[in-house]
Amino acid sequence: MTNNEPQTSPSGYNSAGKQNVLIEVKNLKQYFNIRSNLGKKAFVKAVDNVSFNIYKGETLGLVGESGSGKTTLGRSILRIYEPTSGHVIFSGVDITRLKKGKLLPYRKKMQYIFQDPYASLDPRMTVSDIVGEALDIHNLTSSKKDRVEKIRELLNIVGLNSEHASRYPHEFSGGQRQRIGIARAIAVEPEFIVCDEPVSALDVSIRAQIINTLEEMQERLHLTYLFISHDLGVVRHTCDRVGVMYLGHIVELVESEELYRNPLHPYTQALLTAIPEPDPEVAKKRNRIILKGEIPSPVNPPSGCKFRTRCPYAKDICAKEVPEFKEYKDGHYVACHFAGKI
Ligand SMILES: Nc1ncnc2c1ncn2[C@@H]1O[C@H](COP(=O)(O)OP(=O)(O)OP(=O)(O)O)[C@@H](O)[C@H]1O
Ligand SMILES: [Mg+2]
C-alpha cells in the first residue's frame, strides 16, 4: 500500500467510507482436461470466466448446487489448482503471474479450511505436528519452547486445550477435528481463508459452535472469508454478501439481506423457493420457481445463458447471447437478460 492510499480500519472501510478490495478475481477460468466416452479429449468448464471482488474484512458467501464449481473456484483463487486463464489480484499483486518460488508469502496470507475435517488431517500426525507443521513451513517460531507455546495458544483460541496436542485426529469428534483444521489455518496468521463447507459434515447440534468460532476468529484476527455452503439458511446469517454459482458462472452477487428480499436471477429465486421464508411480506413478493430437470454437463454446457434450459422465462435471446454479469443497481450484480423484469 502506498502512503497516498486511504487508511484501512480493521472493518475494511477506508477513510473515504468505501470498502477496500482485498482480492480481485478477473475472468478466471478453470477447465479440467478429461477424456470423453469416445476417448476424445474434452474439458470440464468448472469455472468459466468469473469476475468479482472480495472486500477486506467481509464474509463473502458462495452458494450453488453440487457441481456448480464452488470448490474449484475457491481452490483456483488460492492456486491450489493452477487457473487455466484469468487473474487473481491479492492486495494489488497478480498472484496468477507469480513463479512458484515467489508464491510462498501468498500461501501464508491465504488459507483453506476443508469440508471434511477427517479426510484433511493426516491420521499419522499428532495435533501438535499438524499445527506445528504450518508454523515450520513459514518459519514462525524462534525456539522449541516458543513453538510449544504457540501451539498451545492456537489450540486455546479455537476452543481446544493443551492436553489435546499429543493426540491423533481419530481421537476427536467431528467438531473438534474441524477446530484442529481451523487452528492449522490460523497458525500462519493469514489474511484470507476459504472456508469450504466447514460445517456440512458436522452434526447439526455443533454447527453453530463452529460458525461462532469462525466469527470470533474473524473479529480477533481481522480475517476475510470466502464461505462456501449449500445451506442458504447458514449463509444468510453468516455472510455479508452472497454470490450464487451455476455451472461455473456467478449469476448473482449482492448483500445477503438484499439477496433474500429481492433476488433478481431466476436461479436464485428457485433456490430461495426451496427454503422457508419467515417473513410473510417477503414470502408474498417472491416468485415461486420449481426447477425442472438436472444441472447440465459442464463439458457441454448450453449456449448463451447456461441456465436457460431450466429457466421458465427463457426466450430466444437467452440461447444466442451470454448475459453480461453487470451491476443492476447499488452493488447488486446479476447475469440475466431479463433482470428486474421477471
Ligand atoms: N480434478 C477434476 N478433474 C475433472 N473434473 C473436476 C475436477 N474437480 C472438479 N471437477 C468437476 O468440476 C465441476 C465443479 O466441481 P466442484 O467440486 O468445484 O463443485 P462444487 O460446487 O464444489 O460441488 P459440491 O457442492 O458437490 O462440493 C464438477 O462438474 C466436477 O465434476
Ligand atoms: Mg465443493
d(CA 217, CA 123): 25
13-27, 124-138, 239-253: segment of lowest average pLDDT: 13-27
Tell me: pLDDT of 94 over 80. Answer: yes
CB 198 within 8 A of CB 178: yes
Measured distance CA(140)–CA(153) in Å, rounded: 14
**Per-residue pLDDT at 113 exceeds 60:** yes
Q: Any idea of the CA torsion for 306, 310, 311, 312, to the nearest 10 degrees?
A: 160
Residues with CB under 5 A from ligand 2 (ion): 71
Higher pLDDT, 228 or 117: 228
Residue in 201, 323, 217, 239 with CA at minimum distance from that of residue 59: 239
Best residue for ligand 1 mutational test, from 30, 65, 71 (most atoms within 8 Å of Cβ) = 71
Given pLDDT bands bounded at 50, 70 and 90, which one contains residue 187? very high
pLDDT mean over 221-239: 92
Distance from residue 71's CA to the centre of ligand 2 (Å): 4
Q: Which-ligand-closest: CA of 72?
A: 1
Res 335 pLDDT > 90: yes
Crossing angle for the helix pair 174-186 and 144-157, to the nearest 10 degrees: 130
Better-scored residue on pLDDT, 10 or 263: 263
User: Distance (Å, rounded) from C-alpha 176 to C-alpha 189?
Assistant: 20
In this predicted model, which residue has the larger pLDDT, 273 or 128?
A: 128
51-73 mean pLDDT:
96
Q: Give residue 10's pLDDT.
A: 54
SS3 88: strand
Q: In the structure, what pLDDT confidence band is assigned to residue 275 with cuts at 50, 70 and 90?
A: confident
Eight-class DSSP state of 294: P
| pLDDT of amino acid 5 | 47
Q: How would residue 13 be classed by pLDDT, with cut points 50, 70 and 90?
A: low
Q: pLDDT tier at 119 (50, 70, 90 boundaries)? A: confident
Residue nearest to atom 30 of ligand 1 (CA): 67
Residues having CB within 6 Å of any atom of ligand 1: 32, 34, 44, 46, 64, 66-72, 230, 298
Helices (H) and strands (E) in the chain, counts: 11, 12
Could you give the CA distance from residue 124 to residue 106 in angstroms, rounded to a whole number?
28
Residue 114 above 50 pLDDT?
yes
Name the residue with cell 492449522: 184
Per-residue pLDDT band for 4 (boundaries 50, 70, 90) equals very low
Mean pLDDT of all residues in 186-197: 96
Ligand 2 centre distance from Cα of residue 256 (Å): 21
Share of the chain above pLDDT 70, in %: 95
Cβ(158)–Cβ(216) below 8 Å? no
pLDDT bucket at 15, cuts 50 / 70 / 90: low
Whole-number average pLDDT of the chain: 91
The yes-or-no verdict on residue 2 having pLDDT over 50 is: no
Q: Report how far apart the first and last C-alpha atoms of the chain are (Å, whole number).
A: 43
Distance of CA 192 to the CA centre of its chain: 10
What's the whole-model pTM score?
0.92
- Residue environment code for 292-325, b if the CB has 16+ CB neighbours within 10 A, otherwise e: eeebbebeebbebbbbbbbbebbeeebeeeebeb
